[in-house]
Chain A
Amino acid sequence: MFRRLPETAAQPVTVVIDGRPVRVPFDLTAAAAVLIGDGITRTTPVSGSPRAPYCMMGVCFDCLMEIDGVPNTQACMVPVAEGMRINRQVGARKVRS
C-alpha cells in the first residue's frame, strides 16, 4: 500500500502481526508497520466494519490495536520493537472479571 523512500531504509526488526512474523524498519510505528501489509488495524465495536490508520498522529483513534497484550492501543503512537506482538482489535475489548 505504501512504499518507503530508499534513502530512509533502516535496520529491520521482527514484529509479529496477527501471528505472522514480519521484518520491518526499526524506526516505524506499529501502525506504519501494519500499513506495509493490508493496513487493517481493527473492526469497530459499533458496526463491525474494518478500519485503517488515518491521522497517524494520535488524534483519530482509528488505529486501535492490541499491542503486546494491551487492547485498544493507538498503534500510531507506539514505535516497533523486536518481537512486538501486534494484533487486530476485533470489536470492543473485554474487561477482566
Chain B
Amino acid sequence: MPEPQPSDAIVIGGGLVGAAIGYGLARQGLKVTLLDEGDVALRAARGNFGLVWVQSKGPGVPEYQHWTRLSSDRWPGLAAELRETTGVDCAHERRGGFAICLTEDELEQRRQMLEVLRRQAGAVEFEYEILDHGALARRVPLIGPEVVGASYTPYDGAVHPLYLLRALHAGLLRHGARYEPNARVNAVHAAPHDFRIEARGTAHAAPRLVLAAGLGSRELAPLAGLHAPLRPVRGQILATERVAPAIPLTQKIRQMSEGALLIGDSFEEAGYDDSTAPQVLSALAARAVRTFPFLREVQLVRSWAALRVMSPDGLPIYEQSARFPGAFLASCHSGVTLAAAHAYPYAEAVARGALPDELARFASRRFDVPKAA
C-alpha cells in the first residue's frame, strides 16, 4: 500500500448522514475525504420519503424531540446555504404537516402522543392542533368521507431528498473535499486521533474518522471501538404521475415540488430484502384512496422499497470512541430531518473533538444493559 493520502477527517458513507456531516466539516475549512461504497450499497438516501418531520419524534425522550426540532429550525438556513453554495435548490418547505387519521382510535393516540410531547418540551414551545373532519376539510378540502381528523404542527416540512443528496455532494466538492466513489472500505487501522483507512487500493489517513455508513456501520463500528447494533426495517413507497398542486404536506402522502405524489410508508421486518411486495403496496394504495379519493384516478408510475437504518430503540446513535478518540459514529433513520443537525452542531462537535452533553443520551452504552434472567 502506498503512502496514505492525508486529510483532516475521513467520512465513511456518502449517504445523507455522511454527506451532511462531511459537508459540515468541509464548510468549516477541514480537508475532508468522503468514502462512498457505490451501487452495491443499500443506499437508504436514494429511497426515502423526504420529510423534515417533527411532530411524532421523541415522546418520552425529550433529547430526541429537541434534536429533531433544532434540525427543523436550522433547515431553512441549510437550504439557503446549499442553494447559494451549489446552485441546487432542494425544494425545502416548512408550512406544517398533517397526520391524517382514519379511525377515532388513531386520532386519540395522536392526541395523547402530542400531549406528551407538549408537556416534555420544556423551554422549547411545542404547539399542536387536533382537527376533526370538518375543521380538517376546511384546510385540506380533498379528504375523503372516511377521514376522522388529523393532528397538525407548524414545525413539519419536507424537501426533495434526491436534490438534497446532490446538493450536499456538490457542497462537499465546492469546499475542497476529496470524494472517492466505489470505495468500499477494506481495512480500518485505528489508533487515538490517528486513523488509516484502505479503500479501493488507496490508503487514507486522518486524525478524525466519522462512521456514517448506514447499515454498513454495524460491521465497521467495532474496528474503531464503536458499537452500532443496527438492523434494516423496510419501507415501501408508491409514486404517481405529476399532477397540479392538490394537497398540503401530510405524513403518509406528499406532493413533490414537481407535482408527483408519494405514498408511503410501510414498516416491515424483512431482513436485507429490499424488493417490493404487492400486498404491502396495495395496502398503501388502499389507505391512500380512502384518505384522498381523487387518487383513484391518478396513475401510479413507480414503486420501490428501501431499508431504514434502525437501532434497537429507534433513536439515533451518536458517540465518540472511548478506545480510539477521534472516531465518531453517526447513525439514524431520519437522515433528511436531521441533515441540518448533522451539518451544523454535529459536524462542529466532530471538528472540536467532543460531542456535547445533549447527545450523551444517544451513546450506544444504552444498549449494554444486561437482559434480566
Task: Return chain A residues, CB-CB under 8 Å to B244.
Answer: 45, 91-95
**Smallest CB separation, B100 vs chain A (Å):** 17
**Smallest CB separation, B241 vs chain A (Å):** 5
In Å, the complex CA distance between A72 and B243 comes to 9
Whether B243 contacts A97 by the Cβ 8 Å rule is no
Which residue of A46, A64, A96 is within 8 Å of B258 (Cβ)? A46
Task: Return chain B residues, CB-CB under 8 Å to A61.
Answer: 301
Whether A45 contacts B242 by the Cβ 8 Å rule is yes
In Å, the complex CA distance between A94 and B142 comes to 13
Chain A proximity mask over B229-245: 1 for CB below 8 Å, otherwise 0: 00000000000011110
One of B12-20, B47-55, B74-82, B291-299 at the interface = B291-299
A-B contact count (CB 8 A): 35
Whether A95 contacts B298 by the Cβ 8 Å rule is yes
B356 is an interface residue with CB less than 8 A from chain A: no
Task: Return chain B residues, CB-CB under 8 Å to A93.
Answer: 241-244
Asked whether A95 and B297 contact (CB < 8 A) given A45-B242, A72-B241, the answer is yes
B259 is an interface residue with CB less than 8 A from chain A: yes
CB closest residue in chain A, given B247: A95
B181 is an interface residue with CB less than 8 A from chain A: no
Whether A97 contacts B241 by the Cβ 8 Å rule is no
Task: Return chain B residues, CB-CB under 8 Å to A92.
Answer: 242-244, 259
Whether B259 contacts A95 by the Cβ 8 Å rule is no
Chain A interface size band reads: 10 to 19
Task: Return chain B residues, CB-CB under 8 Å to A91.
Answer: 244
In Å, the complex CA distance between A95 and B243 comes to 7
Residues of chain B at interface, number, CB under 8 A: 14
Whether A96 contacts B259 by the Cβ 8 Å rule is no
Chain A contacts with B in 23-64, Cβ cutoff 8 A: 45-46, 61, 64
B246 is an interface residue with CB less than 8 A from chain A: yes
Whether A97 contacts B141 by the Cβ 8 Å rule is yes
Chain A contacts with B in 74-95, Cβ cutoff 8 A: 91-95
In Å, the complex CA distance between A72 and B260 comes to 12
Task: Return chain A residues, CB-CB under 8 Å to B299.
Answer: 72
Whether B246 contacts A95 by the Cβ 8 Å rule is yes
In Å, the complex CA distance between A92 and B294 comes to 15
Task: Return chain B residues, CB-CB under 8 Å to A64.
Answer: 241
**Smallest CB separation, A45 vs chain B (Å):** 5
Whether A95 contacts B142 by the Cβ 8 Å rule is yes
Whether B242 contacts A97 by the Cβ 8 Å rule is no
Chain B contacts with A in 280-299, Cβ cutoff 8 A: 294, 297-299
CB closest residue in chain A, given B244: A92
**Smallest CB separation, B295 vs chain A (Å):** 8
**Smallest CB separation, B300 vs chain A (Å):** 11
Task: Return chain B residues, CB-CB under 8 Å to A97.
Answer: 141-142, 294
In Å, the complex CA distance between A1 and B244 comes to 32
- Which residues of B pack against A, CB within 8 Å? 141-142, 241-244, 246, 258-259, 294, 297-299, 301
Known: A45-B242, A93-B241, A95-B246. 5 other contacts (CB 8 A): A45-B259, A72-B241, A92-B242, A96-B297, A97-B141
Q: Which 10 A-B pairs have the closest CB atoms?
A: A92-B244, A95-B294, A92-B259, A45-B242, A72-B241, A95-B246, A45-B259, A94-B244, A92-B242, A46-B258
A-B residue pairs in contact (CB < 8 Å), sample of 10: A72-B242, A92-B244, A92-B259, A95-B243, A95-B246, A95-B294, A95-B297, A96-B294, A96-B297, A97-B141
